[in-house]
Structure 1
Amino acid sequence: MSNRTPEPNRTPESKRVYETAFAADPERYENAAFRRAGSSGLDLPAFSFGLWQKFGADYAYETQREIILHAFDLGITHFDNADRYGPPHRAAQQNFGRVLARDLAPYRDEILLSTKAGNPIGPSPYLKGSSRKSLLTSLDHSLRDLGTDYVDIFYSHRQDDSVPLEETVGALVSAVQQGKALYVGISNYRPDRAHQAAELLRDAGVPLLVHQPRYSIYDRTIENNGLLEVAEQDGFGLVVYSPLAQGLLTDKYLESIPDGARATASTFLSPDQITETYRQRTAELNKLAESRGQSLAQLALQWVLRKPEVTSALIGASSVWQLDHNVAALDFAPLTDAELALIEEHGVHGTGLNL
């Protein structure tokens, strides 16, 4: 895992406390890649770490801690969370808050923490939606979960057409004005609403930093709906999620569905999405990756980062090995025009995703 200071002679009690002290790798930035978020002054790591899945109460805390600390040692400074992430809701923030308090507190100034609100986390009308009450109440709770006075980026998690956009934007502006967030973002907004939000935020003196959409070889929505052009026009970056299409852009399902795989236990992926057409297309993409000496996952991650509008790609991990493997995608040569053409041929929009 990460570097630790040598252990001196201590009493048993102080020894136990000393062994929990985390010392970050002093060389963590030497090979780290950063990209500017739109027209802002903020750099984000090429890979951000997302706690969407496998950071709730159903996974071992010590494994989560090991992965988070290793990510920081790799130069990943952006950790992406939301009130909804668990299970149960808020558990991922609470677990990260434990790591922050125990290990990462001395490095808080080097860390970008983001959280989101607006997706349902309970039956109450105030535990869902993008009203001022829902967003700002959730943010206060998230700050308690994380054990910090502010987050670096506060997102409206989803477009909510039942609430005036001016009210949602006003809540984001208030979060910055109150010192509870440094920047604001939106997620899963249509391009037209993203543009409107960007204009309203600009007029309020709180520019839109980032938009978080889904993007992968098998999900080209942001290429087709104009969001890439809106991002360039309005000067915000894109932090893309699901770049591996819930594991479809790996070699995991080429032959069969392994026991315990996400397709057998996730609400976001089901066995009926693993069709023969999916396997044929994915096999061709896998051949291309192998010809480059990399895995399909590394090819897929490299592909989403080829777009200048993409500031960062969100990755998760269930092990330190998987994290190292994904981050190594940055080490390969750029994709050639011929290789990109092959990806266009076999990486058909909607494959395996029921879009």
Structure 2
Amino acid sequence: MVYAAADNRYDVMPYRRVSDSGLILPALSFGLWRNLGDQMPLSNSREVILKAFDNGIFSFDNASNYGPADGTAEETFGAVYQKDLQPYRNELVITTKAGFHMWPGPLGEFSGKKTLTAALDLSLQRMHLDYVDIFYAHRWDPNTNLRETAQALDLMVRQGKVLYVGVSNYTTEQVAEISKIFDELHTPFIGNQMSYNMFNREAEESDMLSTLDDHHAGLIAYGPLAEGLLTDRYLDGIPADMPLHRTNAFIQEDPKGAVAKLNALNKVAADRGQTLAQLAMAWLLRDKRVPSIVIGASSVDHLLDNVKVADNMTLSTEELSKIDQILKG
């Protein structure tokens, strides 16, 4: 069957500008981290990706090491793009990253010019694209001088392979440092993709949000639900072996305290007619400096539950104060 996108797709999900740039993103972006790679039938992946687009999610986030096996998430997206989404390329924001382990040998990771160049070329091949909208340096490289990384990203823009560049998992100081080089080179730097959620508030505490805003960039938040912790699944307790992302591992230092907070937050969500997950996403999107949050979903039902955040994204001053009290308690 030939795919035709839903006519009302831009009536479902709010979309937001990244700072004062020309780039606009949906409030929710779709991430293919570990959800739709080589372990999932392509038919299922296709169904979820197309349902996301039908609901106004026009930004799709990938990386060279996503899969589970390296590159297979990009191959999955590429198959769906080639078959169904290619006619909509002008509407899509397609992003990818490079820096974590991608192939054997010392050149298979980090942010040297050769590594980033090879990774981008592989990503374009896998996804059947001429260019990506955002290309991120996926992590800080402690060994390569920062100017080489910045110049490599700048060159990709000048070659027409990338429209905007970004970084991922950088600290505030690292963002400030590379932003100076981007300013000098006139590189279109668009943001930092980093972990940010109700429990992990490093972005606020480190002044990341204002630093990015000063450089006309935004924070694209991944892990908005802390790997599912900020849902109603753990109201009775957090398993000791729960595989939390490294940026949220500190939660296991006080699991009972975390569960108490989850229950209190769940009460706030219920009073708003929302799930805890929807509240957690609305809370992140309260700040215009967070133009989009990256969600993952392996089923249509899971995806549509997340999309419902668009029904109620406004938080009152009283609700925000109550949430803050719970989180600091």
Q: TM-score normalized by structure 1?
A: 0.87
Bigger radius of gyration = 1
Please tell me whether residue 248 in structure 1 is matched to residue 224 in structure 2. no
Is the 1:48–1:78 contact (alpha carbons within 8 Å) kept by the matching residues of 2?
Answer: yes
CA distance in 2, matches of 1:81, 1:347: 31
Q: Among residues 5, 20, 24, which one is paired with 2:5 in the alignment?
A: 24
Q: Which residue of 2 aligns with 1:4?
A: none
Q: CA deviation at 1:237?
A: 1.2
Q: Among residues 54, 65, 71, which one is paired with 1:90 in the alignment?
A: 71
Q: Which residue of 2 aligns with 1:8?
A: none
Q: CA deviation at 1:263?
A: 5.9
Q: Residue by residue, what CA displacement relative to the aligned partner does 1:50-83 show, whole Å, maximum 9, x if unpaired?
A: 1112111112221111000000001111100000
Please tell me whether residue 291 in structure 1 is matched to residue 245 in structure 2. no
Change in CA separation of 1:292 and 1:63 when aligned onto 2, cut-off 3 Å:
same
Q: How many pairs are equivalent?
A: 326
Please tell me whether residue 309 in structure 1 is matched to residue 289 in structure 2. yes
Q: Among residues 316, 326, 329, which one is paired with 1:346 in the alignment?
A: 326
Q: Which residue of 2 aligns with 1:5?
A: none
Change in CA separation of 1:217 and 1:257 when aligned onto 2, cut-off 3 Å:
closer
Is the 2:74–2:127 contact (alpha carbons within 8 Å) kept by the matching residues of 1?
Answer: yes
> 1:313 aligns to what SS in structure 2?
strand
CA distance in 1, matches of 2:96, 2:70: 13
CA distance in 2, matches of 1:151, 1:207: 13
Q: Which residue of 1 aligns with 2:262?
A: 282
Q: Which residue of 2 aligns with 1:226?
A: 207
One-letter code aligned to 1:82: A
Is the 2:230–2:277 contact (alpha carbons within 8 Å) kept by the matching residues of 1?
Answer: yes
Q: Among residues 307, 310, 315, which one is paired with 1:335 in the alignment?
A: 315
Q: Which residue of 1 aligns with 2:49?
A: 68
Please tell me whether residue 207 in structure 1 is matched to residue 188 in structure 2. yes
Q: CA deviation at 1:314?
A: 0.7
> Structure 2: where are the runs of 5+ without partners?
none
Q: Over the residues paired in the alignment, what is the CA RMSD in angstroms?
A: 1.9
Is the 1:119–1:129 contact (alpha carbons within 8 Å) kept by the matching residues of 2?
Answer: yes
Q: CA deviation at 1:192?
A: 1.5
Is the 1:38–1:210 contact (alpha carbons within 8 Å) kept by the matching residues of 2?
Answer: no
Deviates more, 1:60-69 or 1:91-100: 60-69
> 1:248 aligns to what SS in structure 2?
coil
CA distance in 2, matches of 1:175, 1:150: 9
Q: TM-score normalized by structure 2?
A: 0.94
User: Which runs of 4 or more aligned residues in structure 1 lie more than 4 Å from their structure 2 counterparts after TM superposition?
Assistant: 262-270
Q: CA deviation at 1:235?
A: 1.0
Q: CA deviation at 1:91?
A: 0.5
Q: Among residues 283, 298, 305, which one is paired with 1:325 in the alignment?
A: 305
CA distance in 1, matches of 2:121, 2:211: 31
Q: How is 1:125-164 mapped onto 2 (pairs within 5 angstroms)?
A: 125-164=106-145
Is the 2:13–2:310 contact (alpha carbons within 8 Å) kept by the matching residues of 1?
Answer: no
Change in CA separation of 1:325 and 1:182 when aligned onto 2, cut-off 3 Å:
same
CA distance in 2, matches of 1:57, 1:97: 13
> 2:234 aligns to what SS in structure 1?
coil
Identity of matched residues, %: 42
One-letter code aligned to 1:34: Y
